[in-house]
Chains A and B, each alone.
Chain A
Amino acid sequence: MTEKPRFRWHIVVFLAPAVLVYTAVMIYPLFNTLRLSLFTEVDQARVYVGLQNFKTLFGDTVWSTQFWNALGNNFWFFIVHMLVQNPIGIALAAILSHPKLRFAAFYRSAIFIPTILSFVIVGFAWKLILSPIWGIAPGMLDAVGLKSLYAPWLGKEEYALTTLSLVSVWQFVGIPMMLIYAALLSIPDEILEAAEVEGITGLSAFWKIKLPLILPSIGIISILTFVANFNAFDLIYAAQGALAGPDFSTDILGTFMYRTFFGFQLQLGDPHMGSTIASAMFAIILIGVCLYLFGIQSRMRRYQF
């Protein structure tokens, strides 16, 4: 009667593959990278140096200038996404979610197309289009009488980063659009009808009723944008190369880490400094995620329908 329940081996069998692969290929390397940032290489041997690498990264002028440059650029990259990508995404979703809109499925699929293209395609395609050699961009501006506004945007230090941020916005606008679209569809009709009876329709219905209800989704989009932007690399690498030209003006943390890890031109690759930068990126992303989880998400009012 008091037989102990048998150990349920099948639970272990079900869990083991996922937990093992995840631990071995993701979690263990993550912590190993954090650990490697405390070492350096002397005469081909790994030596423990404590926080020395971090001191170099923040204290040494050559390193710290590059780091703060990359971090600052990365913040600008993020700000452009927040100010351009997410509002456009929300606006498109608001228009699309109108119940009587025809061809909504077509618009949705078409606007999502850039998101499925690889960074390589997007980077080169825009590089060609904006190139002064080909002349599509100046030609089109000329057609509307604005030729004087044209500049080789990707080649100028002051414009290159903003231009690439906007290219990235162009590519990813589909994601906030889809997520907000889903959130808007889940608002019950009764609420909107009740508002209509009160005379709240159109734009004011959007500002007063729909927007407060989709705030949690906007929060999720913001944190997704943050994480994606602070570990971005591919677009800059595809369009400007590992040197993130002109003169490092498009350098972000991802490209900085890649260059440090693998080396470029005359500088040799350094896995330990690479790990140090990766640890800094980890800290930044962690701070962002925690701010979101404890500062924003927990304070947000959620409505249950």
Chain B
Amino acid sequence: MNAARQNRLNTFAAHGALILYVLIALFPVFVIVINSFKDRRSIFREPLALPNSESFSLIGYETVLKQGDFFLYFQNSMIVTVGSLFFILLFGAMAAFALAEYRFKGNTLIGLYLALGIMIPIRIGTVAILEMMVQTGLVNTLWALILVYTAQGLPLAVFILSEFMRQVSDDLKNAGRIDGLSEYRIFFVLVLPLVRPAMATVAVFNMIPIWNDLWFPLILAPAEEVKTLTLGSQVFIGQFVTDWNAVLSALSLAILPVMALYVVFSRQLIRGITSGAVK
């Protein structure tokens, strides 16, 4: 009896704590989004009220879509993110396969060399990266960003993917070899499809930091036509500080695509982080 009551009390406390924290986590997002749909007066008079027929207004969104080139920024962010992910996955998987599959001199050394980058942030080398991009004429192109993010993502990708490649059965690969498949075909046709879940994990891990990065777009590609969404909203909001409708709408528009991606990939992401913990 007593134990049961104690138990119920514990459950109650657990839900209470979690609900409280969920409120803390979501409150700012909620406030920004609801106020972006209100007119200026209501934003200040009743910031916590939901928009109603009287206070509803899309004036902020109109300003944003008229002034800022958000479709272009969005497109740039998409190209950079998808392009970087493509190269991280392709190059990362190839290197991981070589390290996991073949025994050769220097295998461990190359593995360690690639793993160095997991702990050392690429930002430390920014001064020389900018100099190099200026010399090669890549500054203010999306390629500069794609290259940097690929280099940044590769170490962890190789590390995670080679763990998974080791688990692919040798029999399968040897059967392929007996059938006369080349090593390239064994990799692309037999092994890659088997490590797809691991590739998805790597992709989801890299996607969010690349999409949200402000440092490299600011330094390597600040020109108007190559601005990413993150940098674009930063600059836009900086210019419109006093236009609260526009700022709130710009923030909501920046939240939207990330939330959409999160809803699609959240299961994959959480499974990725907690992988290895499946009982």
Residues of A at the B interface (CB closer than 8 Å) are 8, 10-11, 13-15, 17-19, 21-22, 24-30, 32-33, 36, 88, 91-92, 95-96, 98, 100-101, 103, 105, 107-122, 124-126, 128-129, 134-136, 139, 170, 173, 178-179, 181-183, 185-186, 188-189, 202, 223, 227, 231, 233-234, 237-238, 254, 257, 261-262, 271, 274-275, 278, 281-282, 285-286, 289
Contacts and interface: CB of A to CB of B under 8 A. Distances in A.
B48 interface: yes
Interface string B8-20: 0011001101100
Interface stretch (B55-63, B126-134, B171-179, B193-201): B126-134
Contacts of B102: 8, 11
Contacts of B276: 182, 186
A22 B11 CA distance: 49
Task: Give the bracket for the number of chain B residues in contact with chain A.
Answer: 35 or more
A14 B187 contact: yes
Given A33-B128, A182-B277, A134 B28 contact: no
B279 A14 contact: no
Interface of B: 10-11, 14-15, 17-18, 21-22, 24-26, 28-29, 31-32, 43-44, 47-48, 87, 90-92, 94-95, 97-99, 102, 104, 110, 113-114, 116-117, 119-132, 147-148, 150-152, 154-155, 158, 182-184, 187, 208, 211-215, 218-219, 230, 233-234, 237, 244, 247-248, 251, 254-255, 258-259, 261-262, 266, 269-270, 273-279
A277 to B, nearest CB: 9
Given A18-B95, A121-B251, A185-B279, A113 B47 contact: no
Contacts of B123: 231, 233, 254
A91 B47 CA distance: 32
Contact of A120 (B119, B230, B269): B230
28 contacts: A19-B110, A21-B87, A21-B151, A22-B114, A22-B151, A25-B132, A26-B117, A29-B129, A32-B125, A36-B128, A92-B17, A105-B270, A107-B18, A113-B25, A117-B258, A118-B254, A119-B230, A125-B28, A135-B44, A173-B25, A179-B273, A181-B274, A185-B274, A186-B276, A186-B277, A271-B130, A274-B127, A282-B120
B277 A237 contact: no
Contacts of B126: 29, 33, 257, 261, 274, 278
Nearest to B32: A125
Nearest to B18: A107
B92 A18 contact: yes
